[in-house]
Amino acid sequence: MDASLITDRYNQELMKALKIAVNLALGCVLVWFLAAHQQKIRASATGRDSIAYWAAGKLLVQRQNPYSATSVLALERSQGYAADRPLVLRTPPWSVWMVLPLGLLSPYWAWVAWLAILLASLVISVRISWRIFSRMPGDGLRPSNAFLLAGYLFAPVVACLVAAQMGIVLLLGIMLFLLLVDDADDHPFLAGAALLFPLAKPHLFMLLWPILAVWVLARKRWSLLGGMAAAFLLANSIALAFDPAIFQHYREMLGQEQIAGLFIPALSGMIRALFFRRFFWVQFVPMGLGLLWSARYYWKNRLMWNWRHHGLALLVVSLVTTPYSWMTDEAVLLPAILQGVVWLSRAQLKVRSQLLILLFVFLDLLLLLIVNAKVPPATGIYFWSSLVWFSWYWYASRFADRIMARQTT
C-alpha cells in the first residue's frame, strides 16, 4: 500500500480520536458547570415550560392526575414557582409518554435532560434536512454555512430552547416522517410511527391529517397507517397504565382552563382579539379556509404528490391558519425555511432578491432580539412571525421551477 495513503488514513483516524476526546472533555466541562451552578440555574428553570412537563411526569409516576391544576401548582410552588396560575400540561394523553421520564428526576435535572433532548432533536433535524434537500452533485456531505446559520438561528427554534417547549421534538417527528416516507427507499411503518410526535399537538397540523388520510387510501399505504396506529395505541396504553382515568382528567382540565376565553397570540387569535372578541368560532375561520385550499392543492398535485415537497406547503399554511399556537410551535417550520435556503442558494439572484433576503434576515433577528428581551408571548407581539415564514417559503419556491428548468437544459 502506498505510504501516502497509510499516512492519510492514520491522520483521519487521529482526527476522529481527537474529536471524540474533545467532545468528551466538553461534555465533562458542561456537566461540571451545571452541577457547580445548580442553585443559580434552578431559579430560572422554574419559570420555563419544562416545569409543567416535570410536574406532569411526577404526578404520573405517583399514579396521580397529571392534569390537576391544584396538584401541579403545589408541586411547582415547592420548587419556587411564584405565579398564581399553574403551568399545566395541555397536550393530550397520548403525549404524556414524552414527559413521563422527567418525573423520575429533580426539576433542575429534568430541565437539563429536556434541554439535551431538544438540542439533540434539533441537530438530527438539521442533518436530515440537509440529507433530503441537498441532492445536487456540488452540495457535498456537510451543510453549508448559510444552511447551518438559518437552522440554528431560526427565531422559533431559539424561542423553543429558551422556553424549554416541545416544538423541536415535534419537528423531529416531522423530519423522520419525511425521511422515511420516501418512495424510492421508504419505511412506511416507521414513517407512520414517527407521526406520534406531531400528534402531541394535532391542531398545528390540521391541514396535513385529511390529506394524509386521502393519500393513504389512494396509494394503499396500509403499512404507514399500521405504524401510526401501533404507536398511538402504545402511547395510550402507557398513559392508561399510570392513570386509568387520564382521558376524563384531560377533559376536565380543558373545561377548567377555559381556553375559549384566553388570548392566543396566533394570527387567528389576534384577528379575533381585534375585531371579534366575543366570538370564539372566528379563530377557526382561517383553518376552514386553509382546509379548502389544501383540498384544492392536493387535487391539483395528486398524481405527482411528494411529501418532501408538497408536504412543506401544507405545513406552512397549516401554521398560519391554526386556531391555537405560540411562536415556539413554529419550530416545526424549520424544514420549509431550510428548503428555501437551498433553493435561493442555487438561484441567480438579482439585487432586488438579495435585498428581500436581507429583509427576512432582519425580521428573524428582530424576533431574536424580542426573545432575548424576554417579552411575554401573551402580549401578542409575536403574532406576525408565521406570516414571515409563510412569505419566505412562497417567495423562495418561485425559484424552484427555474432551478429545475436550468438543470434539465
Higher-confidence residue: 186 or 209? Answer: 209
DSSP letters of 31-56?
Answer: HHHHHHTHHHHHHHHTTSTHHHHHHH
Over its C-alpha atoms, the chain yields an Rg (Å, rounded) of 23
Of the ranges 101-105, 150-154, 401-405, which one carries the lowest mean pLDDT score?
Answer: 401-405
* Nearest-angstrom CA–CA distance, 41 and 80: 12
Please tell me the total number of residues recorded for the chain in this structure.
Answer: 409
Question: What pLDDT is stored for residue 137 in this prediction?
Answer: 47
Question: What pLDDT is stored for residue 408 in this prediction?
Answer: 46
Question: What pLDDT is stored for residue 138 in this prediction?
Answer: 52
Assign 366 a pLDDT band (cuts: 50, 70, 90): very high
Which range in 3-17, 144-158, 233-247 is most confidently predicted, on average pLDDT? 233-247
Higher-confidence residue: 198 or 183? Answer: 198
Question: What pLDDT is stored for residue 97 in this prediction?
Answer: 96
* Nearest-angstrom CA–CA distance, 162 and 350: 36
- As a whole number, mean pLDDT of residues 6-26 equals 61
Residue 90, CA distances (Å) to 53, 128, 147, 224, 382 in order: 10, 29, 33, 27, 21
Assign 300 a pLDDT band (cuts: 50, 70, 90): very high
- As a whole number, mean pLDDT of residues 123-144 equals 78
- Mean pLDDT estimate for the chain: 85
Assign 353 a pLDDT band (cuts: 50, 70, 90): confident
| CA proximity to 298, closest of 287, 320, 313, 316 | 313
Angle at 192 between CA 229 and CA 103, to 5 degrees: 75
Question: What pLDDT is stored for residue 256 in this prediction?
Answer: 82
Lookup result for grid cell 472533555: 25
Q: Give Cα 133 to chain centroid, integer Å.
A: 18
- As a whole number, mean pLDDT of residues 22-50 equals 59
Question: What pLDDT is stored for residue 251 in this prediction?
Answer: 93
Question: What pLDDT is stored for residue 3 in this prediction?
Answer: 59
Question: What pLDDT is stored for residue 346 in this prediction?
Answer: 82
Question: What pLDDT is stored for residue 139 in this prediction?
Answer: 57
- As a whole number, mean pLDDT of residues 149-155 equals 93
Q: What does pTM read for this prediction?
A: 0.86
